[in-house]
Structure 1
Amino acid sequence: MNHVLIVDDETEIRESLQSILEEEGYAVTCAGTAAEALTLLRDAAYDVVLLDIWLPDRDGLDTLGEIRQLDASNVPEVVIISGHGTIEAAVRATKLGAYDFLEKPLSLARTLIVLKNAIETRRMREDNKEFARQLAARGTVTGDSVPMKALRQQIKLMAPTNGRVLIYGESGTGKELIGRAMHAESLRKERVFVELNCAAIPEDYIESELFGYRNSAVAGGPSEKRGTFERADGGTLFLDEVGDMSLKTQAKVLRALDEQRFLPVGASHPVHVDVRVIAATNKDLEEEIARGNFREDLFYRLNVIPFFVPPLRDRKEDIPLLVKEFLVEFGSQYGRPRVEMAADALDALKQYHWPGNVRELRNLIERVIILNPKVNRIERKHLPMLVYRDAGKPAARGEEFATLLQAREAYERDYILKKLDECHGNVSRAAESLGLERSHLYRKMKALGVAVREQ
């Protein structure tokens, strides 16, 4: 449902417009002053603002300028309305970013047409921004190993279809990247790619995340929210860790897939969508079905085209290419464009078993670059101690430290970073895993020079 904000000091006009627009299916909020309107706009998202040019506390065109300065992700289209319209005012409004200019008394037919076009313009603008962001973030499916070559061929063959895809693979293997690559080569590539990690959303909120809500269904939140199914309309919805959904949620997803429509929480009318679903899991769903944890009918809906992403330990010949890609990425990000990996360091990385797969390798490269700001050639001694131990060469690392204290601090730093990687940057969970109080872990991180970013 599209949300319109009417800003006019005349009560009769506000009430009349609100009644008409609500009959047309819009959600409508009203404000009588510029100050009230700006407060509403900072608290919730609106698609279009119908803004009177004469307001009791501020000029409407000045208010338009302030609206255009709001958070770029939350800027609505603005249609100026006035009973004293002039060409000069219309030109100024256009220069300030107004979508259109309507004169009072308002023509109902023209108002509805302008409103519809303004909403479509905003939707296209948001879709284009999302698409541009995805282009910048999207990488390629890296690897010259036989499994990765086969995977790229499978993507090329299956991406142009509308068949649902289920991607299997251990955590950190790059299942989301495969999903993005599928979308990028599909017939829906001009529309959005929306992702939702089913394991990261609490059970009480996952339904509203998937299907959205209306009429203040969530206490303390905005009056309505578009769910991931609705936001992905016309594009691709990527459901990560789909095996972690509850049976109750699975039933609703199954119905949405079958009917291509759903009822948002608190809504009285269903929303129709055209969505291609790509799901991913690190679980054996057939085992989960046998245990009663996953619906067999949903499995068959999702498993139209199965993909398997191999773990990094089964394609170690791809490690040099991945390392090169991550060195370029993080070297550029941290102002170090010419960082390279020495042969002895690369050999150690090839011997490590990579329980965290590609994600662990990527995090390791970023960590090494951050912790060695003056080093442009990463050598074996710069790698974390856990890599050494796994490579079967535990003694070599200690030779580079002058004192036992330095060696102990280096080990503590590596171990803490490892736990933070496992907990995806969540300090509270890492502290629990380490058996420390959260405040104690923060103090130790500060002392050891460990910075953490939520992943």
Structure 2
Amino acid sequence: MSQVLHEEKLKTRILIIDDEGPIRQVLSESLKDDGFHVLTAPDGPTGLQVLQEFKPHICFLDIWMPKMDGIEVLTQAIPQNPDTQFIMISGHGTIETAVKATKTGAWDFIEKPLSLEKITLTIEHVMKFKAEKDEKQALLNKLRKNIALVGESKSLQKVREQITTVAKTQQTILISGESGSGRELVAQNIHFMSAQASRSIVEVNCATLPQDLIEIELFGIEKGVLPGIDKTRKGKLELIEGGTVIIEEIEEMPQAIQIKLLQYLKTQKFSRVGSVDPINATSRVILTSSTTLSALISSGKVATELAALLQNNEIFVEPLRSRPEDIQSLIFHFSDIIAKQMASFRKTISEQGLKLLVKHPWPGNIRELKNFIERVYILTPSDYVDVHDLRFAGLSDKKDGVPGSHSEISTFRDARAEFEKDYLIKKIQENGGNISKTAEAIGLERSYLHRKIKAYGIEVNI
């Protein structure tokens, strides 16, 4: 027996509920010898009490007992013990009894006289199932952590509450908000908090697909309907049966396809392109848009019936400029991720630097902020990031977010001069204002560097 298996057995709790003392004793001693933690109960009521206190992973439950039979115990126990697997045992069971036990929620049914080989095999199957379930849950927890919504603004707290609510349902949701604001993250959070969490999640972007391919991508197409289609292709709704399909930029979907999508949402049935045969599917659909539902309705970009279905089912993600209190948390979050990816320490951003970052409007929202922090890490060799480093990476301290004098740059010569100035400021700062050290570090003559400093009006504090 491997050390890992032995340790798993020591952790595994088993309860035996049977009115026959000899069976309880023999089975209990055998399982204890095998390394399991075992308790027993002589009847149903006692067994229910032990179940509550012991919280076993596996329960061997006799069907025919006085006071309360095993099926009744099973019916009461399952809702209170979702992590326990029940294995029914009986000396005179019937097929009907076994079927009833299985439908009620039993893992397996074993007839008496008990075979220790069969008992051992059943326990191994349960342990393997539990290990796979725990591994899957750990993966889901890791995924949920990786897609966590970062920030404490009131608007983000509202979004979290909406996610928790809709994840428990099968409702079709519209997530609206500017590009880069985090709509995809919201959709992923809904999926990974829902009953479909262990199923696949895919995206279909209507803005990047040719309109005549959107229908094929979603619903599939029959063989020979179009030139080059030499075999039947399944659409996303069929391929990830039971999962979640995120349809991005719904306003770019032709209304004829919106109507076909609406029929699927109402009936859970659709047909491939070139066919009228209905296909059943249970895949959930989440829609996203860069504009709100009311704006979509006003512009006529969403079918009336689809708009009616989405009423009261919209989650709006505010742009980053409307929730500046989230920016610092996002900066630290992205810094942790990027530092880990680059195998480096997290950089410290100066107080003035943080203020500048928080004041910046971030027209590209969270996506722009993340890309900028990554650029800062690439361009800043030291572990301390100041305003000069942020400007060197391309950040403006202007309130309109336009990158300083870069906006007035019209020629390559001007662009090169602006870059040189920022570069020299950064290098002089790195060398503590020492011109000689700076010149040596960047490979310039000291006199030439002095001329550049004078030409660009760079202030040097020694």
Amino acid at match of 1:294: V
Match of 1:377 among 363, 376, 384: 384
Amino acid at match of 1:408: E
For structure 1, which segment, 173-182 or 186-195, has the greater mean C-alpha deviation from structure 2 after superposition? 186-195
Query: Could you tell me which residue of structure 1 aligns to residue 373 of structure 2?
Result: 365
Query: Could you tell me which residue of structure 2 aligns to residue 446 of structure 1?
Result: none
Is the CA contact 1:233–1:275 (under 8 Å) kept in the aligned structure 2? yes
Q: CA 1:386–1:305 in structure 2 vs 1: closer, same or farther (change >3 Å)? A: same
Is the CA contact 1:217–1:266 (under 8 Å) kept in the aligned structure 2? yes
For residues 222 and 148 of structure 1, the distance between their equivalents in structure 2, rounded to whole angstroms, comes to 48
1:387 aligns with 2:396: yes
1:5-84 matched pairs, under 5 angstroms: none
> 1:260 Cα shift?
1.1
1:435-446 matched pairs, under 5 angstroms: none
Query: Could you tell me which residue of structure 1 aligns to residue 268 of structure 2?
Result: 260
Amino acid at match of 2:201: F
Is the CA contact 1:229–1:275 (under 8 Å) kept in the aligned structure 2? yes
For residues 224 and 412 of structure 1, the distance between their equivalents in structure 2, rounded to whole angstroms, comes to 58
What do residues 88-114 of structure 1 show as CA deviations (whole Å, max 9, x unaligned)?
A: xxxxxxxxxxxxxxxxxxxxxxxxxxx
Query: Could you tell me which residue of structure 2 aligns to residue 334 of structure 1?
Result: 342
1:168 aligns with 2:191: no
> 1:209 Cα shift?
1.0
> 1:226 Cα shift?
2.6
Q: CA RMSD for the aligned pairs?
A: 3.4
Is the CA contact 1:164–1:304 (under 8 Å) kept in the aligned structure 2? no
1:296 aligns with 2:290: no
Q: CA 1:387–1:233 in structure 2 vs 1: closer, same or farther (change >3 Å)? A: farther
1:312 aligns with 2:293: no
1:274 aligns with 2:282: yes
What do residues 402-437 of structure 1 show as CA deviations (whole Å, max 9, x unaligned)?
A: x97654347999xxxxxxxxxxxxxxxxxxxxxxxx
Q: CA 1:300–1:347 in structure 2 vs 1: closer, same or farther (change >3 Å)? A: same
For residues 261 and 405 of structure 1, the distance between their equivalents in structure 2, rounded to whole angstroms, comes to 58
1:182 aligns with 2:212: no
1:204 aligns with 2:212: yes
What do residues 38-91 of structure 1 show as CA deviations (whole Å, max 9, x unaligned)?
A: xxxxxxxxxxxxxxxxxxxxxxxxxxxxxxxxxxxxxxxxxxxxxxxxxxxxxx
Is the CA contact 1:213–1:227 (under 8 Å) kept in the aligned structure 2? yes
Query: Could you tell me which residue of structure 2 aligns to residue 347 of structure 1?
Result: 355
For structure 1, which segment, 142-151 or 290-299, has the greater mean C-alpha deviation from structure 2 after superposition? 290-299
1:223 aligns with 2:225: no
Match of 1:323 among 328, 331, 338: 331
SS in 2 for 1:299: helix
Unaligned segments of structure 2, at least 5 residues = 1-131, 407-412, 424-462
> 1:302 Cα shift?
3.0
> 1:177 Cα shift?
0.6
SS in 2 for 1:251: helix
For residues 184 and 167 of structure 2, the distance between their equivalents in structure 1, rounded to whole angstroms, comes to 14
What do residues 264-321 of structure 1 show as CA deviations (whole Å, max 9, x unaligned)?
A: 2244633210122221111233333334332110112234522111111111111111
For residues 287 and 163 of structure 1, the distance between their equivalents in structure 2, rounded to whole angstroms, comes to 21
What do residues 6-37 of structure 1 show as CA deviations (whole Å, max 9, x unaligned)?
A: xxxxxxxxxxxxxxxxxxxxxxxxxxxxxxxx
For residues 269 and 293 of structure 1, the distance between their equivalents in structure 2, rounded to whole angstroms, comes to 29
Query: Could you tell me which residue of structure 1 aligns to residue 418 of structure 2?
Result: 408
Is the CA contact 1:138–1:180 (under 8 Å) kept in the aligned structure 2? no
For residues 353 and 243 of structure 2, the distance between their equivalents in structure 1, rounded to whole angstroms, comes to 42
For residues 132 and 220 of structure 1, the distance between their equivalents in structure 2, rounded to whole angstroms, comes to 39
> 1:221 Cα shift?
6.4
For residues 154 and 248 of structure 1, the distance between their equivalents in structure 2, rounded to whole angstroms, comes to 30
Q: CA 1:265–1:303 in structure 2 vs 1: closer, same or farther (change >3 Å)? A: same
1:411-426 matched pairs, under 5 angstroms: none
Query: Could you tell me which residue of structure 2 aligns to residue 232 of structure 1?
Result: 240
Query: Could you tell me which residue of structure 1 aligns to residue 156 of structure 2?
Result: 148
Is the CA contact 2:223–2:233 (under 8 Å) kept in the aligned structure 1? no
Q: CA 1:236–1:370 in structure 2 vs 1: closer, same or farther (change >3 Å)? A: same
Percentage identity across aligned positions? 33
> 1:361 Cα shift?
0.6
SS in 2 for 1:234: coil
> 1:147 Cα shift?
1.4
For residues 350 and 310 of structure 1, the distance between their equivalents in structure 2, rounded to whole angstroms, comes to 16
For residues 335 and 420 of structure 2, the distance between their equivalents in structure 1, rounded to whole angstroms, comes to 22
Is the CA contact 1:155–1:182 (under 8 Å) kept in the aligned structure 2? yes
Q: CA 1:376–1:284 in structure 2 vs 1: closer, same or farther (change >3 Å)? A: same
1:135 aligns with 2:135: no
TM-score by length of 2: 0.54
Unaligned segments of structure 1, at least 5 residues = 1-123, 397-402, 414-455
What do residues 140-174 of structure 1 show as CA deviations (whole Å, max 9, x unaligned)?
A: 01111121122212222332122221112111110
SS in 2 for 1:143: coil
SS in 2 for 1:389: coil
Q: How many residues align?
A: 280
> 1:255 Cα shift?
1.6
For residues 382 and 225 of structure 2, the distance between their equivalents in structure 1, rounded to whole angstroms, comes to 53
Is the CA contact 2:140–2:197 (under 8 Å) kept in the aligned structure 1? no
Amino acid at match of 2:218: L
